[in-house]
Each structure stands twice: as structure tokens, then as C-alpha cells.
Amino acid sequence: SEDGTGASPEFPQGDHFTQIFLDLERTFPDTVFFVRNGPFFDDLYEVLWAYATVRPTIGYVQGMSYTAALFLLYMTPYKAFRCLVNQLDRAHFPIFLMLDVPIISRYCRAFIVMHCRESPKVAARLRNLGVEYRQFLLQWWMTCFAHILPTPLASRAWDVLVVRGLEGLFQVTLGVMNALSKQLMILTWEDIMQQMTHLDEHLALIDMDKVLSYGLKAEVNAADVAIIVDTPLPDIPEGQEDVWLVGKEVPAALGLRVQLRSDLESQGHGTVTQVDSNGQGTVVVTWDNG
């Protein structure tokens, strides 16, 4: 506060502001910076309050405090506010903060395609086990790992996001998936979901130097990501399994779940990872059986 007493400004009424107040002391609890009467407690409150005020259609979303707090560790409150507004207006953030589930699912489908291309055996095993990527990607991407990884590691993930945008987020995530790949090939579904949704409990597996070394070399085709995000998949008829016959029922599309025609040797189900522009030519499928 401006009077130097450490007292927070008068607290406005409303659900967003109530949630901000509840989250303040939950943010980076292992540090002294954001606890009540800590050096950045009031600054964090004011940055979040200002964001919720200038972006009323989004307001405050739980977890946003970690992103704002990360910025406050490196810059003044005013600059942190500007960065928060600018960053949350770009890439995937507006869709994720508004919890637009159909579009979020397309972002997740785009990542699955890139993961299939980069690590087909790991991706196939996750699909075979029925692992739902959205359950952990939503958590990871809502703050770009800020509330999951220790501050020094999360800061490096944010460096890549700021410089490379959505492509960089995909690359960091591919690096994290690679760091976990040995575990993902042997764990059960239950243990995989526990690991992916509680990544902060498995930090010994995350070497950020290796994550970035691998991730920044991974090829993420921004044009393909844009196509997947902008193109809804055909509706699945009621009672039909979530797969289509390649090139018969519908044109193939990136991320489409498919199987071969019954008159061909079946390889089970797979995910389309490459396709000609009209969906009628050469199609590359990553099969669930690896």
C-alpha cells in the first residue's frame, strides 16, 4: 500500500475479488514474498484486481495468481500488470481462461498430433491406456507451468512462451513428456494420471536443461496446429465409437481417430498425424498398438 503500513486496500465485493483474496496466501507458499504482510502481498492483490477490472469477461481465474506473482518477481507492479494483460490476451490463454471446452479439446488434439509425431510409441501407449491428455494439459497450460514447477524452472518455461508463443509452449510440453517417457511406458493408468496431475510431486524427473534441449529441437508445425484448432472434427453419430473409416465416411483430418476399412488388414485404431490438404490423398496414421 502507498502509506507503507502493509494493509491491503479496501476489498471490493464480488466473486472474482473474493477468489483473489482467498488465493493470495496460497501463491508460492514456500516463499515469504506473497504471504500476508509479505513484501509483494499488496502488489499481487493490486495486479490481480486491476486485471479482473480491465478484463471483466474473464475476471479472475484460479491459478492466475501464480502467473502474476512470477512476473512480480522480475518487474515492477505496473510492468507486471501490463505483461499479465498482454500475455493472457495471446496464444491459448483466452480460450483456456474462459474454459471453452470444445476449443480446449482442439488445442489438446493438436498437441496429441505433435506428440504422436515426436514420440509415437509413448503417445500410442497413452492412448491404449485411455489417458485423457486434457486432464493434465488444462492444468499445465492454464499458467504455463507456473503453479506446478519451482519458480526458477517455471520462469524458463515462460521465457520460451514469451519468445516463441504457442509453438514454444508445445515444445516445452514435449520436453516434459520426454522427461517422463520412461515412466509413461511402464506405469499403470492410475499411476500415470497421478504423476501427470501432480507433477509438482515428481520434480526429480524434471531436468529443465534436458527438457529445453529436447523440446526446442522438436518440430512443431504451427500451420498444422492452427488448422486443428480452427477445424472442428465431424460429429460422432450417437452410439458410434469415436473412430472413422479412413477416406470412406469422412475426409481424413489431423487428429481424427480412425481405423482401416474392414476389407483391409486392420491395425486397430489410430490417430491421423499427417494428411493432404483435401483429406483424400496420402494419410499418415499413428496406430495405438505402436
pLDDT at 235: 66
pLDDT at 258: 66
In angstroms, the CA 51 to CA 57 distance is 11
pLDDT over 50 at 1, yes or no: no
pLDDT over 70 at 11, yes or no: no
Reduced to 3 states (helix: H, G, I; strand: E, B; else coil), residue 193 is: helix
Question: pLDDT by residue (tens digit) across 225-239?
Answer: 998 999 887 666 555
Reduced to 3 states (helix: H, G, I; strand: E, B; else coil), residue 47 is: helix
Question: pLDDT by residue (tens digit) across 23-79?
Answer: 888 898 878 898 888 899 999 999 999 999 999 999 999 889 999 999 999 999 999
Average pLDDT, the chain: 85
Share of residues in the chain with pLDDT > 90 (%): 62
- Band (pLDDT 50/70/90 cuts) for residue 260 is low
Mean pLDDT of 210-237: 88
**H or E stretch covering 269:** strand 269-275
* DSSP alpha helix (H) spans, 165-290: 166-179, 181-184, 189-197, 208-215, 222-230
pLDDT over 70 at 280, yes or no: no
Distance, CA of 274 to chain centre: 22
Distances (CA, A) of 151 to 83, 155, 156, 282: 17, 6, 9, 45
Whether the pTM exceeds 0.75: the reply is yes
pLDDT at 9: 47
Mean pLDDT of 170-177: 98
**H or E stretch covering 284:** strand 283-287
When comparing pLDDT for 245 and 33, which is higher?
33
Q: Which of 21-35, 101-115, 232-246 has the highest mean pLDDT?
A: 101-115
Q: For the CA atoms of 132, 133, 136, 139, what is the dihedral angle to 10 degrees?
A: -120
In angstroms, the CA 149 to CA 157 distance is 9
Lowest mean pLDDT among 2-6, 209-213, 216-220: 2-6
